[in-house]
Amino acid sequence: MTLSCMCFGLFIWMAAASLATIQATPYVLYTKINGSETITCECPDHSCQEVFWYRYLERTKTLQFLLYCNSAGRERHGENLSATRFKGLVSSGQRVVYTLRITGLQENEIGFYSCMFKTKNTMPVGYYIMPGVNPPTVQPPTVKTKTPKKTCNCKPPMSPKGCEQSVLWPGIGALLLLAITLAGTLYYFSRLPKKCRHRFTKTNQLR
C-alpha cells in the first residue's frame, strides 16, 4: 500500500470522526477563472505536526484528498493532482500555521476546502472557493427622511362663550355707571329743602 493510499484512508477516518465538530460558517472566496487562492489552517500550539488538506466538490458531490504535509515540510499529494497547482507551506512561531496555495482554479472546482490536524479531533472553519462566480452586490441601505411638521401661528377662533363674555362685561359696566349716577341724583334731590324743591319745580313749569 502506497503512502498516498494510507494517508487517504487515515484522512477518511479522521473526517468521519470530526464532522460533528464543524460549527462556524466557512469563509467564501470569489475567484476568477485560472485564478489562485491561498488558504491557511492554524494550530494553537506545537502539537499539530501533521495536516491533511481536502476538498468537497459541489458539482460531483465527491470528497477528495489534496495534500499531506508535516512540520518538516514533507509533502504527499493526492492521486491525479498536479504538484505545481497545489503547494503546501508550514511556518512556526507561537503557533503553527499551515498554508495551501492553489493556482489555475476552474469552474468545476467550486467547493469546500479545509484541513484536519492528525493530533487534534477538530476541523477548522474552512473556505468555500467559487471560481467564476461573481460576488453578490450589496444594495446601500435606504435612509428615511423625516418630513418637517408644519407649524401654525394662527390664533384659535374665539369660542361663542368667550364672545358672550367680551360683550357682556362692557354692558354690565355701563349699567352700573348709570345706576350709580341715578342714585346720586336721587340722593341730591332728597337732601334739598322743600321750598327749593317747590321753586325748582315751579320754575320748570314756567319754562
pLDDT value at 84 more than 60: yes
Three-state DSSP string of 128-190? EEEECCCCCCCCCCCCCCCCCCCCCCCCCCCCHHHHHHHHHHHHHHHHHHHHHHHHHHHHHHH
CA-nearest of 69, 68, 54, 21 to 129 is 54
- pLDDT computed for residue 18 by the predictor: 46
Q: Is the pLDDT of residue 61 over 50?
A: yes
d(CA 4, CA 169): 113
Q: What is the pLDDT of residue 25?
A: 79
Task: State which H helix or E strand residue 96 sits in.
Answer: strand 96-102
**Which stretch of DSSP H or E encloses residue 191?**
helix 160-191
58: pLDDT strictly greater than 90: yes
162 half-sphere exposure, CB direction, 13 A CA radius: 4
What the block records as the C-alpha cell of 8 is 487517504
* Band of pLDDT at residue 163, cut at 50, 70 and 90: very low
pLDDT for 4 beyond 90: no
Evaluate if residue 33 carries a pLDDT over 90: yes
CATH architecture under which domain 44-132 falls: Sandwich (2.60)
Mean pLDDT, to the nearest integer, of 16-42?
78
> Hey, is 101 helix, strand or coil?
strand
Instruction: State the chain's mean pLDDT as an integer.
Output: 75
Q: Within 10 A of 100 (CB to CB), how many other CB atoms are there? A: 23
Instruction: Give the residues across from 50 on adjacent strands.
Output: 70
